[in-house]
Structure formats: C-alpha cells, structure tokens
Amino acid sequence: MSKRSNTSEHKQARKRAKRDENSAKYSDDSDGQKNEKKKSKKAYRQSESLKAVSQADIDSFLESNKIEVSDPIEGEQILRPIISFEHLPDEGDAIYKPLRNFRAPTSVQAATWPFLFSGRDVIGIAETGSGKTLGFGLPCLRKMVSLKNKKTKPSCPKAVIITPTRELAMQIHEHLEKYASPLGIKTTCIFGGVKKDDQWEALKSATVVVATPGRLKDLQGEGSVNLGKVKYLVLDEADRMLDKGFEQDIKEIVGTMPVSKRQTAMFTATWPVAVQNLAKNFTQNPITITVGGKPSADPRANTRIKQVVEVLSPRDKETRLLQILGQLQRKSSEDRVLVFCLYKKEATRIERFIQSKGYQVAGIHGDLSQSDRFKSLAAFKSGAVTVLVATDVAARGLDIPEVKTVVNVTFPLTIEDYVHRIGRTGRAGADGHAITLFTENDKTHSGALINVLKAAGQDVPESLLKFGTTVKKKQHGAYGAFFKDVDTAKSATKITFDD
C-alpha cells in the first residue's frame, strides 16, 4: 500500500467506512466528495437521476458486464456506474456534446468515470475497442475545465497522456480535440521522427499534451516543457508503458511531476502480472476496475472476434496469405485487411510480394519515415489501399472501424501483442475476424494461444494442440522485437522503441 494510506485522511476514510459498514457496497447516496482524494475543484456529485436507479439495475449492469472494482482503501464506498449519459454530473455541460453520437457509455466508461471524476487514481482494464480513450479522456477534459481559471503557464501543461506509438498519439489527440477545442482547451501532440519546431510552438499554449515517451523526455531534458504543473497523467497501453523498453523513460518523465496534486490513470486491454507491481510506483491507492472478469495470467481477447488458427508449414505461408486476400477481396472490395508481420524486413518483403500480385497495399513499420507511416495510415483509412502490412507498431490502439480482418503472418513475441493485434478488428461492439498462420517456429506460444482461444470460446484446432499446452513464464521486457533490425530466422539483441 502507498504512503498515503498512513495519512490522517486515510484514517478518516477508515472511520467513515466503519460508520457505513452496514450500508450497501454500491451505495446510491455516495458521492465523490466523500472520497479520500479531493483534488478536483469541480468535485463529483452523483446525479439525481443516477441515485434514482434501483440497486437491482445497478447490480445487473455490473454483473452482465462482468465489472469488478477493487479499492485498496478498505471500506470506501464503490461509486455507481454511469450507465446512461443522463447520469453524467452537470449533464448539460458543453463538454458532453460530442457524446451525442453514441447511445450510452461503454461499460469501461460507465465504471471508471465516477472514480476519475472524483479524483481517484484508476487502473482500467477492458477489452480492445471498448472506448478506453474517452474513459480516461473525458475526465481529463472535465478536470481541465475545472482548472480553467488557473491559467496554463507557457510550456507547463496540466495534463499529459503518454502512449507507445506515434500513430496512436496522433489518434488520441485528434479524438480528444473534438471535445477540447469547443471548450477552448488547447491540446497538442508530441512524438519523435519529425522536426521539433512546431512542437516547441504548440507546447507554449497547450493545456493537454499527448506524447510518446522518447520525444517528451527529450523536450523535457532541453527545458522546452515543464511537467511540474501536471495534475492529470495517463499511461495509455499501460502494460507496454511499464515494460522494460519504456519503463526508464516513464520513470524519468513522471519523476518531475508533482505527486500530491496529480491524478493518474492507467488503461489497457492486457495487464500481465509482470507489470502489475510496477504500477504502484506511479499511482496512489489506485482503484482497479476490470471489465470482463478479474485480470488473470492469460490476457483476454475481445469475444466478438472470430479467431481462426491455421497450422501450416513456414514455406506455405505466402501462398496461403494470397488465397486469404483473394477470398476476402471477393467478399467485399471495401473491407480493410490488416496483415501483421513480426519484423520490419519481413513486412517490407510481404508488402512487395502482395503488391506484385496486383493488390493496393501500404506498409507501416519502423524502417519507414514518419511521413511515410502517416501516409500509409491515411491511405488505408481512406480506402485508397485496402491492405496494410504492419509490424506490431500498429498492434495497439489504432481504431479503424473498416478493418474487418486481421491476418497474422508471423506470430508476435508475446500473447499480449496477439490480443492487441487481433483487437484492431471487432471494435465498438462490431464483429471481427482474425486468421493466424501458425507454424512450428511459433510452438512456444501454443499454450498461451490455446488459453486465449478457450477463454474467448473459440475452436482450438487439433493441429495446434499437438504443440502442447504449457504456458511459458512471461519475461518483463519481452515486447518490442518488432523494431529489431533482423530477419526472421535470427534472434537479435537490440530493442528500440518509438520516441
């Protein structure tokens, strides 16, 4: 438990807890002001309409969405999920306007918003494509609104969202800007691989910064940004951010942010045991909210994705890939197909191969310039090309609703990456389809893959079972080999990440 659990605030919380011992766990008269953390001026008050919801309806929502809330502070009341947009605090607020495009909050939004609104640190774990961006994004902007009378000093942002890849940083920025700009809140996006000039300029007036770690650390080191005023920190794709390749950068970046006044949110679809303890170093008494059941050693795939695993010989992969693309193209020429490779050189080779067969194809991997990476993504999103060949740089977070099928040409290094890769389809309640070409070279992953398939109610082919069901212990730092500059046959040593 963190330091703050020994404070008088915590003692008071425990007293309150004793007093409330006999009251319902999911109280209908609790509000965020009772919570231990009173950081936001615009504290969370549960709306009257939410109070009016029957306990049976609340229980049924939590149960049917398999929402689990765990609070390290004993006895704290669990805030009711915001099941409908009508339950939002200060419902008429301009900040909520863009939500009108949606019918209701997703389950992760419903469960995490009350705690984030009330200033608590939150770890949110929910399947891919379940709306986690707004899960952390809306409370971020609401907090920025509450701090609006405190002017943002030049180059001193009040909120920072850190994310592993440049494309994802850009996507989150574009998403949040729709909500932020009508409110006059300036957001900017910071990532490596491009010149700094525009970033220096934008930082001067930005209240919210979405960034990849390397460039943020770089700008911080040269004094172009001061993180001493940050009140809201997000580690998106939190397990990746705490993994070895990024952990040191994150430590250095977060080390300069104030602890006592900072609220921290970590969101992800996969939460391996190896990083769970590390999260404690960056949070204070975080509430852990999982949607879809308690986090286990095995990551959970989105159950709306039909997962097909084909076991074949390595030399048959390309022929099979062509067959798959042909079948998909005949079905619908509009649907997008995302093809994953493990290594940059492999991605280049597969892209050229597909192109030589007459397909409109683009690529995303670390050997391409940033402007080429953005061009490929834009062409894929617009439909100018319908096939995108990528390394795991595109595995996390990217939200392209037209992606109907993911094909894994080579299995990723971790089972978490597999879950994220296939999660590029089946987003926001849609169905998806993932085909994995599995060869003898991937046999160390068979046990973990079988568990993921079983947990999602998918067929497990006999040919996969024959490789065995043992699950290898995960090593901290297993991610990231997709940036390695090697061919698939050799093992490499140097791992570098997006900056």
Ligand X SMILES: Nc1ncnc2c1ncn2[C@@H]1O[C@H](COP(=O)(O)OP(=O)(O)OP(=O)(O)O)[C@@H](O)[C@H]1O
Instruction: Name the site residues for ligand X (rule: CB under 6 A).
Output: 102, 105-106, 109, 128-134, 269, 397, 399, 423, 427-428
Q: Judged by CB, which is closer to ligand X: 467, or 482? A: 482
Tallying the residues shown for the chain, one arrives at 499
Radius of gyration of the chain (CA): 23
CB of 396 to ligand X, least distance (A): 6
Q: Judged by CB, which is closer to ligand X: 209, or 406? A: 406
Q: Judged by CB, which is closer to ligand X: 116, or 321? A: 116
CB of 96 to ligand X, least distance (A): 11
Q: How far apart are CA 144 and CA 185, in angstroms?
A: 8
Q: DSSP readout, 125-180?
A: E--TTS-HHHHHHHHHHHHHHHTTTSPPPTT--SEEEE-S-HHHHHHHHHHHHHHH
CB of 260 to ligand X, least distance (A): 29
Q: Judged by CB, which is closer to ligand X: 133, or 264? A: 133
Token pair recorded at residue 141: 């902007």
Q: Judged by CB, which is closer to ligand X: 35, or 302? A: 302
**Phi, then psi, of 234 in degrees rounded to 5:** -120, 130
Q: Judged by CB, which is closer to ligand X: 34, or 240? A: 240
Q: Judged by CB, which is closer to ligand X: 296, or 463? A: 296
Residue 20, burial from CB neighbour count under 10 angstroms (0-12, 13-18, 19+): middle
Q: Judged by CB, which is closer to ligand X: 171, or 264? A: 171
Task: Say if CB 242 and CB 275 are below 8 A apart.
Answer: yes
CB of 342 to ligand X, least distance (A): 19
Element (H, E) at 305: strand 305-311
CB of 398 to ligand X, least distance (A): 7
Q: Judged by CB, which is closer to ligand X: 102, or 251? A: 102
Cα maximum dimension of the chain: 72
Q: Judged by CB, which is closer to ligand X: 269, or 279? A: 269
Token pair recorded at residue 5: 């659990």
CA 464-466-468 angle, 5° bins:
90
Q: Judged by CB, which is closer to ligand X: 128, or 408? A: 128
Residue 254, burial from CB neighbour count under 10 angstroms (0-12, 13-18, 19+): buried
CB of 378 to ligand X, least distance (A): 17
Beta strand pairing call for 287-291 and 67-70: antiparallel
Return the DSSP state at 70: E
CB of 271 to ligand X, least distance (A): 12
Question: Mapped to the 3 state alphabet, what secondary structure does 340-401 carry?
Answer: ECCCHHHHHHHHHHHHHCCCCEEEECCCCCHHHHHHHHHHHHHCCCCEEEECHHHCCCCCCC
Task: Report in angstroms the alpha-carbon separations of 498 from 192, 193, 194, 225, 495.
Answer: 7, 8, 12, 19, 10
CB of 22 to ligand X, least distance (A): 35
Element (H, E) at 111: helix 107-117
CB of 115 to ligand X, least distance (A): 17
CB of 213 to ligand X, least distance (A): 17
Q: Judged by CB, which is closer to ligand X: 406, or 435? A: 406
Return the DSSP state at 440: G
Question: Exposure pattern of 298-326 as b/e (b: 16+ CB <10 Å)?
Answer: bbbbbebbbbbbbbeeeeebbebbeebbe
CB of 26 to ligand X, least distance (A): 21
CB of 91 to ligand X, least distance (A): 15
Q: HSE-up of 179 (CA within 13 Å, CB side)?
A: 24
